[in-house]
Amino acid sequence: MITIKTTVATIIFCIFLLILLYLIFANIGVRKKIVVKFLRGLLIILLLFLLFRIEYKMPQKIDKINLVFLIDTSYSMKFNNRLEQIKNVISKNYDKLKKKYNVQFYEFNKNLIQINETEKLKPTKYETKIHSAVDQLLSILGNPSIVFLFSDGINNTNEVPAVKKENCFIIPVAFNEKKFKDISITDLRYSKTGFKDVEHKISLEIMSFGYDSITCNVKLINLSNKEVVVNKDFTLNEGKNVVELNFTPRTTGKFNFLISISQFKDEITYENNNVSINIDVKKNKIRVLYLCGQPSPEYYNLRSLLKNDPSIDLVSFVILRNPEDVVIVPDEDLALIPFPTYDIFVKELFNYDLVIFENFSYRRFGITNEYLENIRKFVYSGGGFIMIGGENSFFLGGYKFTPIEEILPVELSLDERWVYSEFRPDYIDYNHPLLKIFDNEKDNEYVWKNVPLLGNYQKVRGVKKEAVVLLRYQNIPLMSYTTVAKGRVFALLTNTTWRWTLGNLLSEKYDYRELYTKLWKNIIYFTSGAEEVKNLYIVCPEENNLNEQIGINIFINLPEEIELKPEVYIITPDKRKEFLYPKKISKEKYTTSFIPVLEGKYYINAIARVGKNVIKEEKEITVGKKELSNELSFLKVNVEYMKNIADYYNTELQYIENLNIEHICEKIKNVVSKQFVSVEEVYRKLPIGILFILIFITEIFIAKIK
């Protein structure tokens, strides 16, 4: 078939042609040489080819069509011998097919890989994106091609392929598993951060195929000690089931839990009956026991600091009167209470997170070595212990040869002395996080170098090998700590840090009260192992599904007397701000919810105002991305998805059980042969332009000679 294409350039050249014709006919009368006429005639023909871009098409014979086997080797293909079935089908047909077609093999899981044979194919541990594999393949395939897509349709998204190519045919091949039976955990919704003594909720979605109205059991097991935290029975119905597991963590730390549901006969696998999750249980309040041997400015200031920190529950005892002190009034005139030795060291000790001894000697109050042994055990089990110096601390307090000696970071010796002297630390570990009071390094160094003078220190022999020294003065480890099993022990060899609170009188530029406050908070939080205690917590699942309600709990961690209602708003993925209306559950707990309609990251913000102070907390959550892989949670063949692919490519879904590859290929080949044409562009075949110029010059040359 011949076609003619007209452009603006064509019109210009037509005008030029007319001029040329005029020249030919004008010269007829003068020179009637045949050669010139021939040349000019030839010029006209060439010009026509060139200007009208004459081309023609004709049916083409196809030698070999590409026949591509695209095979899913993701994890789900290992079940029900899915991959083996594919290999069998291909090996049965391969010999016949390779004669007629250009047979190629590709496997795909998380990547698309060309392979030479299928015999060695094995299921991988990876998940897959079917649409992405098809798109990649089509972008590299030549045409015509027939692609057999072997897969169970278990895709991690619902997206279908986007690339279409003329004369490339995608034939999805699925499995017809009529007796499929499985129970699996398909979705989990929980907060990865929990709080000690605050109920934690895990929402579990269980899918049942082939089992209906049966009693099923679900367990939540703490893998560190094999303790069954939740044990719950429920009725399992065909399809989707939702179960909630509630538990209250009693200890802090990072825990690995196993969620396990009952196993039933004939399930395709038991692998998806268990899911392992990690929950980081944090403290929402630090409970501090502060024992002080005598009233002092250090006690006054440190107690005041701890008392005013809403994250800290403080119980303190200061010894106001020693047994040897004179009593000049009847007991009912004294505001004193008996020192509750037994309660502190036996009954309640393990309910605290941190114990502080300041200038406190155990000897006067019937505290035996067994009680001190409890302190050691308390530290070993994760508690924090701080000893602040004084005439009744360390060796001077009689702690040599007691269980306390073992856990202290400093060495106790007979030559220990309590020294009054005014000094500044001469070694400061500026890089240690505990001493990073100001963000600017130079400011931080300056502040520490010019810190107000301290007034006394405990002259101990030295520091233990494993201890970390933060502040030193003439080889005296003023501030040091050590980690003992799960706990931390901090030693401060002076009781005059209170002078730093008054440092603001000596410096206008730097806030030394801030230094005192931050330093002590750092020490308290660090030693008690609760570095991240906040006043406001947002608890909700980090990973959520689109169009499903997300429940949000707001926990307020402030003293009882402060009552407030938090403002809550979310920032949506399209940067819109939406206010939510929290409902009061208790003084400490508010709850609200929203339904996400967009996939992406949401930011939940909670703001509470206490006087002039604004407490703010933000939490990032994701909508649309699931933690559990479909490769294991949904093992039923996703026929619907495979059908969608077939529809998209105008082909038909095939089942491997009755797949006739040769027949399908022949059918397609017939269609393809009729469609294919080859295009011959006349004006490109010959170097017509050059020929035209040569003839034109020759014609002029001949014409001139004459």
Residue 315 binding another protein, by CB under 8 A: yes
Cα-Cα end-to-end distance for the chain = 43
Cα 54 from Cα 182, distance rounded (Å)? 66
CB 479 to another protein: min, Å = 16
Residue 326 binding another protein, by CB under 8 A: yes
CB 525 to another protein: min, Å = 21
**Binding residues for another protein restricted to 391-420, rule: CB under 8 A:** 391, 420
Among 40, 287, 499, 619, binds another protein (CB under 8 A): 499
Of residues 294 and 592, the one with the C-beta less far from another protein: 294
Of residues 111 and 308, the one with the C-beta less far from another protein: 308
Report yes or no: 512 and 368 within 8 Å, Cβ to Cβ: no
Of residues 263 and 304, the one with the C-beta less far from another protein: 304
Choices 107-115, 127-135, 401-409, 506-514; region in contact with another protein by CB under 8 A: 506-514
Cα 467 from Cα 100, distance rounded (Å)? 78
Residues 511-530: x/- map of binding to another protein (CB under 8 A)? -xx-----------------
Per DSSP, 452 falls in state P
What phi and psi values does residue 176 have, to the nearest 5 degrees? -100, 85
Per DSSP, 324 falls in state T
CB 400 to another protein: min, Å = 22
CB 472 to another protein: min, Å = 19
Report yes or no: 278 and 257 within 8 Å, Cβ to Cβ: yes
Of residues 313 and 406, the one with the C-beta less far from another protein: 313
Among 11, 21, 336, 597, binds another protein (CB under 8 A): 336
CB 413 to another protein: min, Å = 22
Of residues 399 and 512, the one with the C-beta less far from another protein: 512
Residue 498 binding another protein, by CB under 8 A: yes
Cα 171 from Cα 176, distance rounded (Å)? 16
Residue of 208, 224, 225 whose CA lies nearest to 216? 208
Pairing of the two strands 577-580 and 536-539: unpaired
Cα 639 from Cα 624, distance rounded (Å)? 22
**Binding residues for another protein restricted to 659-698, rule: CB under 8 A:** none
Q: How many residues bind another protein (CB under 8 A)?
A: 56
Cα–chain center distance at 254: 16
Residues 271-310: x/- map of binding to another protein (CB under 8 A)? ----------------------xxxxxxxxx-xx--xx--
Pairing of the two strands 145-150 and 65-72: parallel
> At 187, is the secondary structure helix, strand, or coil?
strand
Residue 319 binding another protein, by CB under 8 A: yes
Cα 99 from Cα 40, distance rounded (Å)? 55
Among 316, 522, 545, 698, binds another protein (CB under 8 A): 316
Of residues 29 and 330, the one with the C-beta less far from another protein: 330
Residue of 209, 205, 203 whose CA lies nearest to 183? 209
Alpha helices in 479-541 (DSSP H): 512-527
Residue 68 one-letter amino acid: V
CB 330 to another protein: min, Å = 9
Cα 385 from Cα 393, distance rounded (Å)? 13
Residue 2 binding another protein, by CB under 8 A: no
Residues 351-390: x/- map of binding to another protein (CB under 8 A)? --------x------------------------------x
Choices 81-89, 368-376, 492-500, 671-679; region in contact with another protein by CB under 8 A: 492-500
CB 333 to another protein: min, Å = 5
Residue 69 one-letter amino acid: F
Cα 38 from Cα 16, distance rounded (Å)? 18
Of residues 58 and 420, the one with the C-beta less far from another protein: 420
Of residues 157 and 507, the one with the C-beta less far from another protein: 507
Cα 101 from Cα 115, distance rounded (Å)? 17
CB 411 to another protein: min, Å = 23
Residue 332 binding another protein, by CB under 8 A: yes
Of residues 319 and 635, the one with the C-beta less far from another protein: 319
Among 329, 414, 614, 705, binds another protein (CB under 8 A): 329
CB 250 to another protein: min, Å = 23
CB 223 to another protein: min, Å = 39
Of residues 264 and 317, the one with the C-beta less far from another protein: 317
Residue 333 binding another protein, by CB under 8 A: yes
| Residue count of the chain | 706
Question: In this structure, what token pair is assigned to residue 591?
Answer: 């709850």
Among 14, 277, 318, 639, binds another protein (CB under 8 A): 318
What's the Cα-to-Cα distance from 543 to each of 163, 189, 203, 578, rounded to whole Å?
Answer: 30, 7, 12, 19
Cα 516 from Cα 178, distance rounded (Å)? 72
Cα 665 from Cα 118, distance rounded (Å)? 19
Among 14, 258, 468, 502, binds another protein (CB under 8 A): 502
Helix (H) or strand (E) holding 418: strand 417-423
**Binding residues for another protein restricted to 420-479, rule: CB under 8 A:** 420-422, 452, 454-456
Of residues 34 and 329, the one with the C-beta less far from another protein: 329
Cα 567 from Cα 614, distance rounded (Å)? 11
Of residues 233 and 563, the one with the C-beta less far from another protein: 563
Cα 40 from Cα 24, distance rounded (Å)? 7
Residue labelled with tokens 């114990």: 355
Among 504, 572, 591, 593, binds another protein (CB under 8 A): 504
Cα 198 from Cα 207, distance rounded (Å)? 29
Helix (H) or strand (E) holding 81: none
Report yes or no: 181 and 266 within 8 Å, Cβ to Cβ: yes
CB 621 to another protein: min, Å = 37
Cα 472 from Cα 465, distance rounded (Å)? 15
CB 284 to another protein: min, Å = 19
**Binding residues for another protein restricted to 221-280, rule: CB under 8 A:** none
CB 293 to another protein: min, Å = 7
Residue of 293, 499, 300 whose CA lies nearest to 397? 293
For the chain, the farthest-separated pair of C-alpha atoms sits apart, in whole angstroms, at: 153
Angle formed by the axes of helices 688-705 and 34-52, nearest 10°: 150
Among 44, 320, 485, 562, binds another protein (CB under 8 A): 320
Of residues 66 and 341, the one with the C-beta less far from another protein: 341
CB 324 to another protein: min, Å = 9
Cα 246 from Cα 152, distance rounded (Å)? 36
> Applying CB under 8 A, which residues contact another protein?
293-301, 303-304, 307-308, 314-322, 325-329, 331-337, 359, 390-391, 420-422, 452, 454-456, 495-496, 498-499, 501-506, 512-513
